[in-house]
Amino acid sequence: MTSEGSRRLGRPPDSSSAETRGRILDVARGCFAEFGFEATTNKTIASAAGVTAGAIYHYFESKVDTYVAVYEDVQRLVYDRFDAGLEGAGTFRDMFGSLLDTAHQLNEEDPTLAQFLGSARVDFQRYPDLANEMGDQVASRRTRFFAAIVDCGIQTGELDATDRDRVLALIETLVTGLTDAVSGDGATHQLAVDAIKALVDGTLVGRPDDNHS
């Protein structure tokens, strides 16, 4: 077999390598989100993507490699959008509000992003070896992103430096909750985003009246 023939093994005709790989990643994301790591097979992904099983192995040596590639792709998509959303924001409230708005927009555009991240947290607990396959680069970008928002608040005087760690924990918990709890319901997701903003602004919870003090 020629080298050209080997290169195109398993790929649909008239499709570029990047397009085929991208389609496989998109379809695999939905499969992993719906069925989880264990129940999803490369055959399932290939069938849903409209390619042969050979196409999957042309790009990824194993199901673990496919999963890692999907996870890295999702993180890139999400944090590229998060970074773009922060442009022009100069306060903690603006940056955090932009983060929440972008998270909601992503959920509206493609719910499988949040659904995959939610299922990934479960899969990582069930299969520690799978989590170990993830590089530090992904975690480092996430940490830097949230830290930049909190550090902005410290610089503007909105946050006290002594509260840095707990505000970081709060942001990560809230964003995680948005993906785990209500990613499939757009209206509820928007209500949650609005409530979180109001909570940060101090307008959601008031002091008890005199009769309940």
* Tens digit of each residue's pLDDT (9 = 90 or more) over 129-141: 888 887 676 778 8
Q: What does the block give as tokens for 87?
A: 């442009």
Report the Cα–Cα distance between both ends of the chain, in Å, rounded: 83
Residue whose tokens read 């005087």: 157
Please tell me whether residues 55 and 32 are part of one structural domain.
yes
Co-location of 89 and 53 in the same domain:
no
Owner of token pair 């991208």? 22
Q: Residue ranges of the chain with pLDDT lower than 70?
A: 1-15, 135, 137, 180-184, 210-213
Angular region, 118: left φ>0, alpha ψ -120 to 50, beta rest: alpha
Residue 61 confidence (pLDDT): 92
Please give the Cα distance from 156 to 104 (Å, whole number).
26
Task: Tell me which residue range forms the domain holding 18.
Answer: 1-60
Any domain includes 178: yes
Whether 9 maps to a domain, the answer reads: yes
CB atoms inside a 10 Å sphere around CB 174 = 18
| The two structure tokens encoding residue 52 | 């042969």
Measure the CA–CA gap between 188 and 198, rounded to whole angstroms.
15
Last residue of a domain, one of 40, 60, 80: 60
Number of domains forming the structure of the chain: 2
Domain end position, chosen among 37, 60, 83: 60
CA distance 21 to 60: 9
Query: Measuring CA to CA, which residue among 115, 28, 119 is closest to residue 69?
Result: 28
CATH number at residue 37: 1.10.10.60
Could you tell me if residue 37 is inside a domain? yes
Q: What is the pLDDT of residue 194?
A: 92
Does residue 209 lie in a domain region? no
Q: Say yes or no: 110 and 186 in one domain.
A: yes
Quick one: pLDDT at residue 44? 94
* Within a domain: 110: yes
